[in-house]
Structure 1
Amino acid sequence: MLDHDSIVEWCRQYLAQLLDVPGAEIDPDADFDTLGLDSALAVSLLIEIEQNYGVDLPPEELFDNPTINAVATYVRAHAQNPVA
């Protein structure tokens, strides 16, 4: 079963690499705009979420779920068979 905290941590580390900042500086409650996530980086995140968790997260969902914590909640709710 997917754990919310592990999804949050994966997202933090992934975004830290994309944004070239330490993972500890990524606030899981900060809006993606505040973090500096542009549309290209957002698409990259969506692709990686689908590959890692088997969850199709449509781009418009980032407007409704604009933080890492919100995305983790969405992924956990929609994950059925995580990709190994």
Structure 2
Amino acid sequence: MTTPVLNDASSIETWCVDFISNTLNLSKSKIDPTVAVDRFGLDSATAVSLIMELEETLNVELAPELLFEYPTLRSLSQHLASRLSSKQVA
């Protein structure tokens, strides 16, 4: 299985939607990336799992409370894309 290339906000957001869809058994069409993730029934264990999977996939260290600062998949994806962009420049 190949690891997807996640280097922009759109691809990160798509990956997050897929993760939520698969983990919570929700249709992708039901997942609005502009709505807070807790509205999808995401509990703390699943939130930590999302962050851990993102850490591994993006090869960056992330704080477990990141979803409190960036509560929507869109805001989280934009933040992560910005971090990745500055990491590549640094």
Give the TM-score taking structure 1 as reference length.
0.87
Mapped partners of 1:26, 1:55: distance in 2: 25
Per-residue Cα deviation, 1:9-37 (whole angstroms, up to 9, x for no partner): 11000110011011121110111111111
Distance across 1 between alignment mates of 2:8 and 2:69: 21
Distance in structure 2 (CA, Å) of the matches to 1:61 and 1:3: 18
Give the whole-Å Cα distance in 2 for the aligned partners of 1:15 and 1:43: 12
* From 51, 56, 70, the counterpart of 1:51: 56
Q: Deviations over 1:1-60 (max 9, x none)?
A: 812111111100011001101112111011111111100000100011001112222122
Question: CA–CA distance in 2 between the matches of 1:56 and 1:65?
Answer: 16
Q: Kindly indicate whether residue 27 of structure 2 is the aligned counterpart of residue 22 of structure 1.
A: yes
CA contact (8 A) 1:55 1:75 kept: no
Larger radius of gyration: 2
What is the correspondence of 1:1-84 to structure 2 with a 5 Å cutoff? 2-79=7-84, 80=87
Q: Percent identity?
A: 36
CA RMSD of aligned residues (A): 1.5
Gaps of 5+ in 2: 1-5
Q: How many residues get paired?
A: 81
Which ranges of 4 or more aligned residues in structure 1 deviate by more than 2 Å?
Answer: none
Unpaired runs of at least 5, structure 1 = none
